[in-house]
Amino acid sequence: MRTKAPKSPVKFTKKFTKKPAQAFGRASAKATKIVVARGARPGSNGANVSYGTNGTNGTARKPAAKPASKSSNKPTSKATSKPTSKGSVGTRHSTYNIFKTTQEFLSTSNPIIYVNGMMVPKSQALVSVYDHGLLYGDGVFEGIRIYNGKIFKCGQHMERLWRCAEMIRLRIPVSRDEMVQILRDCVEANNLHNGYIRLLVTRGAGNLGLDPRKCPTAGVVCIADQIALYSQDQYEKGMKIIVAHRPRTPIECLDPRIKSLNYLNNILGKVEAIDQGCDEAIMLNLDGYVGECTGDNIFVIREGKVFTPPTESGILEGITRRFVMDLCADLGIACNLRNMKPQEVKSADEVFLTGTAAEIIAVTQIDDIKIGHGSEGPVTRRLRDAFHKVVTSSHIPED
Ligand SMILES: Cc1ncc(COP(=O)(O)O)c(C=O)c1O
C-alpha cells in the first residue's frame, strides 16, 4: 500500500552540504577513454522494439497507430493545450501522438520519486535531456530489494555503487549515509514493505560532447516501486533460456563488474532470447566460456555440488550470487567458482539464475536441451526455500 502522492513537489528535507563535483581533480585531469553506446531506434508498434523474428534488428519504425478518435488527441497537460503546432514553445508538435502512451505512462503521481534533491510524484520526476546518463549511458545504478520494510544487503549495494562510480571516475555528490537516508525516505514516502529500489547516479547535465568534465554535478535518482521479472508459472516450473550468439562485452572494453547505465550489450542478448520465445539468454565471453545471463548470474549443479563462473569470466558480481554462495556454506553445500563451456551447463543436473529482481529461478531448458528432469531440481529448491525463509523473516540482513 502506498500513501497518496502530494499534488506538488515536496522539497527534500535533508540539506546536502557537500560541494558536488566530478572526480576529475589534479591527478586525474588527463583525458580518459570511456566506452559509451547509444540507444536503439524506437518503434511504436505497442512495444518499443523494431526487430523481426529472425534476430535482425534496426528495421525501419512502423508508422504510429492512428488515434482512436479526435478526443484521444487531447493534451495530457495544461502546457500542451494549444492545437498542434510546428514549433512554438509549450504546444503539441505534429508528432505528439507517437508519444501518447509515454505521456500517459508518465501522467500518474505514484510512486513518489527522489530526483536530485527533490521528492516528486512520478509525473514530475524528470531529468535533463542534457544529462550524460541519457545522452551516453554515462552513469551507474543499483537494483535493490525491500523485504519487510528493510533494505536487503543495503551495505553491499552501497559498496558496489561507490566502487562502480569510482571505476568510471564519477563522484557521487552525497555521502553514503545520505544515500541510505534517500533510500529509506523513498521507501517510507511510498509506504512500501516489499518492493524494489532503482537507484541511479548519472554523470549529470553537461554539454553535447562526451567530456564528463563538462558535467559539474552528478545526478541522483531513486525510484521505489514494484518489479516482477518473471511469471509465477516460471518460478514454479522453471524457465527456458538460450545461449546468445552475441558475446558479453570483454572486460578490457567495458568491465561487466561496472553496473553502468550502458546495458546495450545485455539488451541485445535479451533481444536474441525474445526472438526465440525466451526471457533470458546466457552470454559467453570471447573465449566461449559462460559468463552470466543478460540480467542475472548463473549457477550450475552437478552431483550435488554447486558451481558458478568466476569474476574473471566477465560478469557482474551479483549481490544475490554472493548471498546464495553464503547460503550454500550455511547449508553445507559445496559451492565453487568454475569456468564452464555451454555444453557443461547444458549437461548439468540443475541450473538456476540469481538476481535482485529475479531472486532465484530454475532453468529447465537451454536452447533445445532439457536440464535434468525438466523441472526445478532438489538443490535449487532447497536454496530457494532457504532464501525465502530469510527474506520473509523479521531479520532481513541490511549489511
Ligand atoms: C548483468 C547482470 N548480472 C547479474 C545481475 C545480478 O546482480 P544482483 O544479484 O546484484 O542483482 C544483474 C542484476 O541486475 C545484472 O544486471
Look at residue 205 and tell me if it is in a domain: yes
152 & 262 share domain: no
Look at residue 397 and tell me if it is in a domain: no
Q: Are 221 and 140 in contact (CB under 8 A)?
A: no
Look at residue 88 and tell me if it is in a domain: no
Domain of 184, CATH number, reads: 3.30.470.10
Look at residue 29 and tell me if it is in a domain: no
Identify the residue with better confidence: 159 or 32.
159
Look at residue 345 and tell me if it is in a domain: yes
Least confident stretch, 75-89, 132-146, 285-299, 378-392: 75-89
Position 78 scores a pLDDT of 45
Question: If you average pLDDT over residues 118-129, what whole number do you get?
Answer: 97
147 & 164 share domain: yes
- Mutating to test ligand 1, I would choose from 297, 308, 313, 319 the residue with most ligand atoms within 8 A of its C-beta, which is 297
Look at residue 304 and tell me if it is in a domain: yes
For the chain, the distance separating the N- and C-terminal CA atoms, rounded to the nearest angstrom, is: 26
Identify the residue with better confidence: 270 or 69.
270
Closest ligand 1 atom, residue 320 Cα: 9
Total of domains in the chain: 2
Ligand 1 centroid distance, CA of 358 (Å):
9
Ligand 1 contacts CB of residue 321 (under 6 A): yes
Look at residue 101 and tell me if it is in a domain: no
214 & 240 share domain: no
Q: Which three cell numbers stand for residue 356?
A: 535482485
Q: Which of 190, 225, 260 is at the close of a domain?
A: 225
Whole-angstrom Cα distance, residue 190 to residue 1? 8
Checking 232-239 for CB contacts under 8 A at 24+ apart, the result is: 234/279, 234/361, 235/361, 236/376, 237/364, 237/375, 237/376, 238/361, 238/362, 238/363, 238/364, 238/365, 238/371, 238/374, 238/375, 238/376, 239/278, 239/279, 239/280, 239/361, 239/362, 239/363, 239/364, 239/365
Query: Which range is most confident: 70-74, 76-80, 83-87, 179-183?
Result: 179-183
Q: Chain-wide mean pLDDT for the chain?
A: 85
Ligand 1 contacts CB of residue 292 (under 6 A): yes
Ligand 1 contacts CB of residue 319 (under 6 A): yes
208 & 250 share domain: no
Predicted confidence (pLDDT) at residue 171 exceeds the cutoff of 90: yes
What is the pTM for the complete model shown? Answer: 0.83
Closest ligand 1 atom, residue 157 Cα: 10
Residue 87: band (very low, low, confident or very high) from pLDDT cuts 50, 70, 90 = confident
200 & 279 share domain: no
220 & 238 share domain: no
Ligand 1 centroid distance, CA of 237 (Å):
22
Ligand 1 contacts CB of residue 295 (under 6 A): yes
257 & 219 share domain: no
257 & 208 share domain: no
Position 298 scores a pLDDT of 99
Residue 269: which domain range?
A: 232-391
Nearest CA to ligand 1 atom 5: 296
Catalytic residues: 259
246 & 379 share domain: yes
Ligand 1 centroid distance, CA of 292 (Å):
9
350 & 377 share domain: yes
Least confident stretch, 46-60, 147-161, 223-237: 46-60
Ligand 1 contacts CB of residue 296 (under 6 A): yes
Q: Which of 198, 225, 252 is at the close of a domain?
A: 225
Ligand 1 contacts CB of residue 146 (under 6 A): no
Nearest CA to ligand 1 atom 1: 295
Domain of 318, CATH number, reads: 3.20.10.10
Residue 287: band (very low, low, confident or very high) from pLDDT cuts 50, 70, 90 = very high
Ligand 1 contacts CB of residue 356 (under 6 A): yes
210 & 251 share domain: no
Look at residue 84 and tell me if it is in a domain: no
Predicted confidence (pLDDT) at residue 285 exceeds the cutoff of 90: yes
Residue 23: band (very low, low, confident or very high) from pLDDT cuts 50, 70, 90 = low
Q: Which of 173, 192, 225 is at the close of a domain?
A: 225
274 & 387 share domain: yes
Ligand 1 centroid distance, CA of 318 (Å):
5
